[in-house]
Structure 1
């Protein structure tokens, strides 16, 4: 099969550059889709990252609703198999019980994607209902890390992260309820922004208030692609339950300027959860680098009750996911989750959370409030808090303590295991603040280690400005210019 570009040329382009070539008439959206489909065919046998390719969207992007006049001009885009729905397409959420589940309509954000010129060409893997840290159930699929296929991609935006890292597409859909954009970005060497509340709509099924911790977004390999994605896809649906906010100028313009001198706090221990010495050393090295860019860097930490915050976050997940599972059961006329169709930890989460009272939920909300105020006070003195994305090295495939196929009888203990590794990401969801993972460091086993920057509510643009400043300073060479072992340019 003759492709429009060599793989080296393909991966030298980000999404913005490919869209520019389409607008100039040098390439067509159909040619881009054909190349992306060939990339999936090339790497997916090793990675198991893409569930389904939409052949009609490859053959004719216009028929798939991609607006040719949108900023992305028909760029191929993979959708995580969770969250926004596509009319007539399957959405199976990584679960056996959802096999054959076909959406009857587009959600509001799906329409925004199409209007932005994104050609939605397929579905990527996710753990069941997005609950755990890896898309890894042998009965469904096992998604592997392109840097070393013995290791997991983490999750829950597993397949999207792997395909972007492997050079298949420059940008893909992701979601984040506690780190599910940033964690896989961090362990796959991508850029992953979790926006503030009030940016991307969850309509019509949820709002930012009912969803509370869930955020939409993307995986990418360039800061300007992430900035363009937010610019094009943000905004409220009619009847939103809470206000959405806008920026004085588009992020694509804002990132062309360096930020001023920032006050950057480093931290590698949150409550009882502490990064390994090697990860702490990598964080310190990145701190020195930011000092060389002119920023003030020191160690500091918000004054929070960390144990209470993590307990409240666990309570939120348990009650949220119990409701999700309960709704699925009700739609199927079932009284309880079938053990052969729903994974063991998710059944235990349903059992633990299905009778949660309003009083318990209000107690949780009170901790959300005090935690958010604590971060708010901290950001009066500091512009950024910088942490590693994970506290521990990336797990190998088959590390069941992090998976919903675990036999751990205690839901609380199972979540405690997650927090030991993924402590630094979920409180941004709890507080609704922005956070970005940048591929600036390396684990002791050689896999990428994301460094996370967090800022106060609605300071998403500042995070993107800092990321763009870093990107310019390193000559665009994220991951020190290295590429994963499984990559479209290999073989």
Structure 2
């Protein structure tokens, strides 16, 4: 197998580092794309993260409209098989029901990604409609964690997380409706930002008004790649329901200096949910790291009606996923979901939510408002909240309780159990606030455990600044030289 870089050189460079090689003329974008395809071929048999690579984008990095003069200069980039459409490419959303679905136009964010110089040359796995914790239906695919293939990469940005961690791509696309960027980043040892509402457009098929909890973004190995992605791809399409914001200083510039000393509130006991003893101990250790960096750190729980907030989040998910399924059925003239093509919990969610009343949605919105105001008041006194990314250990492959293939009869009980695992990420989606997962800890079995930073709406740059400060303190190596068991440097 001929590659333009050694696998050590390939995995040592982030997206901006590869772009520097393109701009200097040392490599061509097509050579990078060919190497990414080779990396996928090496690792995919063991982690099943990449659904397909696009031969035409490998042969000609500008074929799909990629601006090779963009900040990423033709760097290979995978799209999660959910969210923004790419003209002419399959988007099957992890579902047998959507097999063969081929959109004919680019979503607005897709055009921004291409303008940033990212060569969309592959698509990666996701659970059906993004509605569960793992891309793990054996009839579709089973995506595994490259650090230990007995475990899941979580989700719903499952394949992107696994492929970036394995060194296939330097960064890749993800979506986050309750932690779907941050959770797989956390369990695969990556940097994952869920941005503030009003950052990335979901036009033309949705809007922040119609889909208030879901946003777009990337998963990466370095803070600067995430900062550059947000700088280049943010912004609203014409006709957005709400204004889109831009910081006074680009994030890529902001992260070059340390933040001022911050007030960081640390907690893990959120309403009915709390972390396992080992995760709580890791949180305490990481809190001391921030203290050593000069920040004021204190154990404080936000004054929030957590049970009411999680209940509202459950209502939001059930009613919105029900309508997602409903719209797909109507497009095909069907009245009920085919049981052989749609996973059982997604059918139960449809049954639970399809006839929800305006009163139920209104009560949900009142709870959203109350929760957002409570967190807003807390952020008047505190700059950052630090929690773990999850409250429980990463599940082994085959753990069905978090999957939409489960036999659990109640969607309400299923979501309640899900929040017990993903306790700390969904409320950022409810409030529209930023959350950032950074790989600062380990589970007892050695798997990565992300630490979760949260801030007030619009303070994404502060979180990236803080993460960059930690990254510099570690010499730029989040894992101290350790690599996943499945990685291009070992598979190649």
Q: Deviations over 1:266-309 (max 9, x none)?
A: 01111010100100000010000111100000101111111110
Give the whole-Å Cα distance in 2 for the aligned partners of 1:301 and 1:457: 18
Residue 482 of structure 2 aligns with which residue?
482
Unaligned 5+ segments in structure 2 are none
Number of positions where the alignment pairs a residue of Structure 1 with one of Structure 2? 491
Question: Residues 92-491 of structure 1: matches in 2 within 5 Å?
Answer: 92-491=92-491
TM-score, length of structure 1 as denominator length:
0.99
Secondary structure of 1:484's counterpart equals coil
1:479 shift after superposition: 2.4
For residues 236 and 190 of structure 1, the distance between their equivalents in structure 2, rounded to whole angstroms, comes to: 27
The superposition leaves residues 321-355 of structure 1 with CA deviations (integer Å, 9 ceiling, x where unpaired) of 00000000000110000000000000000000000
Kept in 2: contact 1:441–1:479 (CA 8 A): no
Query: In structure 1, what is the equivalent of residue 27 of structure 2?
Result: 27
Q: Find the counterpart in structure 2 of residue 85 from structure 1.
A: 85
Secondary structure, in 3 states, of the residue corresponding to 1:179?
A: coil
1:427-460 CA distances to partner (integer Å, 9 max, x unpaired)?
0000000000000000011100000000000000
Q: CA deviation at 1:52?
A: 1.2
Q: For structure 1, which runs of at least 5 residues remain unmatched after alignment?
A: none
Q: Which 4+ stretches in 1 moved above 2 angstroms?
A: none
Given that 1:175 and 1:215 are in contact with CA atoms closer than 8 Å, whether structure 2 keeps it comes out as: yes
The secondary structure found in structure 2 opposite 1:414 is: helix
CA separation in 1, counterparts of 2:481 and 2:2? Answer: 28
CA distance in structure 1 between the aligned counterparts of 2:232 and 2:98, rounded to whole angstroms: 31
How much has 1:481 moved relative to structure 2? 2.8
- Cα distance in 1, alignment partners of residues 395 and 291 from structure 2: 31
SS in 2 for 1:302: coil
How far, CA to CA, are the matches of 2:62 and 2:341 in structure 1? Answer: 37
Partner-residue secondary structure (3-state), 1:90: coil
Distance 2:89 2:473 in 1: 42
Query: Aligned partners of 2:393 and 2:481: how far apart in 1?
Result: 21
C-alpha distance in 2 between matches for 1:71 and 1:330: 41
